[in-house]
A and B are shown apart, each in its own frame.
Chain A
């Protein structure tokens, strides 16, 4: 079924309330963060000149933004620990639960066209540790399939869970996922973009952090032709903490874009963003946009965001744009760092002076570049996989290309 913004369903009130309260706090006139809305009219088809679209290759989205109806789905497999449920709900119910309204055209289209949502529900007080993660695998069957995704993840108060959402296969996929983390709850969530080479994925994870809750969200993008992911976080009360991590590896011709928005709308909240990426091969392109807003009410907050890119070959482009908007001076700390670099000659020399070949030295440096981030993910089985994937990516192209240069 299709829900439009005029639907007078009961859930709307909740949505209106949260939008209204956000507005009370002072509408952010930032062109970087368009106001949320279910109304498609608020999200016109982009021309490519808009600030939020100017980095994205619109043609390669293969018509997703036209918003055609489609009832195609991704195949869903799930490993659910006892007590955790995965059910289908209506779009109204998604709003009642308190999802965050769409903030761009793909997420608005996803809600409008998905015909209902999927709810992953972790009940209050249930504590699951990282050895029993919830794993949901979504598989696309065909690169031509147009799929709309609408997901809600809910952690009840004082619950604790580790969730891995893995995307594989191929599709033209646009999805919005709201993550509602209850007071005092603790979430570790990983979204893995492990697509085939021809997939297009426009995704948005919007996270509400409850009072004194803590969230770790990691976005990992390896596959896909175009992947454009939002990770947004805002707070439902003081004391919430969010750690937003990301790891990406762009090969020849790939476009991998990650857009962060930490909205400090409550006092004494924290956000810590670390994204690291590597690029190799002709036309490999990455974009990282890190927006942090510290509202007037948000006294005593701490925020830090960092993006580092390692460019392995010629012909790659990495864009990295940190943005900090501060509306109060009463903060604990705010900072950002952004760096895009090639291999460091001094590091390579040091390793090679110990007998290590040029190719092996590069492998070690790259391994090291990602290693501290991978260790932060906090899911041992996944950490091993990520390490292996990074090394396989490197072995795929770079070692071959670099081998002749090793004698220099």
Chain B
């Protein structure tokens, strides 16, 4: 069981000219076991939605609520949200110089589980996850995201998804900047995750390409800080054919 409920979420950021409203009331429920795709043009607020759910300090929640299995997510600290079962694969993963992938993964796993993982199985798990994402064994000795190619960063995010095993994963443009082989590898990783009982996925993307590999239960078109239209997978096909024009015009 895992249900992420977003109700009338309103978010602003501080700018030089004062607060700027970005999310203008987002309502969305990802029921247990469901995959939802959020599609929208650049600047429509997709990352803002992802970061706000994860608790990035840059964003101010001005209204609405987010709950995970009934628990108030917005009152939790960033790390509490992760420990409660939320995972955000970031559009731009951050470099942490001098901290090895191995050290980072072990520290994160220990924090999420509340105890250190058993050494022998853990090493096997890490190597297995990296291997499945086509990351070679020396990868774990590199500094987190430092000097990684775009594709390596995204595959590393999905390796973390496998190892940390959250309840709900939010994937922010995990497909952008990937060549077709990497896209398949990443999609397989996401599909392994959602193949498990009750896992929720919020798949944020600009293009329909990844939806050929990860079939969503629901598709939401996101325009100007709110959901403009929701539907089944066929809505993605329409976007593929016609783009966002219809929704952008409706907005004016």
A contacts, CB < 8 Å to B: 344-347, 349-358, 360-361, 364-365, 367-372, 406-408
Contacts and interface: CB of A to CB of B under 8 A. Distances in A.
B116 interface: no
A364 B96 contact: yes
B98 interface: yes
Given A349-B57, A355-B82, A367 B108 contact: no
B98 A354 contact: no
26 contacts: A345-B58, A347-B94, A349-B56, A350-B93, A351-B96, A351-B104, A353-B55, A353-B79, A354-B79, A354-B104, A355-B83, A355-B108, A356-B82, A356-B107, A356-B111, A357-B79, A364-B99, A364-B107, A365-B96, A367-B99, A368-B96, A368-B98, A368-B99, A372-B98, A406-B79, A407-B77
Contact of B104 (A352, A364, A406): A364
Contacts of A407: 77
B29 interface: no
B99 A354 contact: no
B164 A355 contact: yes
A357 B81 CA distance: 11
Interface residues of B, number: 30
Contacts of B82: 352-356
B160 interface: yes
A406 B111 CA distance: 14
Nearest to B99: A368
A358 B79 CA distance: 8
Interface in B49-106: 54-58, 77-79, 81-83, 87-88, 90, 93-99, 103-104
B77 A367 contact: no
Contacts of A360: 107, 111
A376 to B, nearest CB: 11
B57 A354 contact: no
Contacts of B88: 353
Interface of B: 54-58, 77-79, 81-83, 87-88, 90, 93-99, 103-104, 107-108, 111-112, 143, 160, 164
Nearest to A358: B79
Contacts of B54: 349, 353
Contact of A347 (B55, B96, B160, B164): B96
Query: A-B pairs with the 4 shortest C-beta distances?
Result: A368-B98, A371-B98, A355-B82, A368-B99
Contact of A354 (B55, B58, B103, B160): B160
B144 to A, nearest CB: 8
Given A345-B58, A354-B160, A355-B79, 11 more contacts: A347-B96, A349-B78, A350-B93, A351-B108, A354-B164, A356-B107, A357-B111, A360-B107, A367-B99, A369-B98, A372-B143
Nearest to B54: A353
A352 B96 contact: no
A263 to B, nearest CB: 31
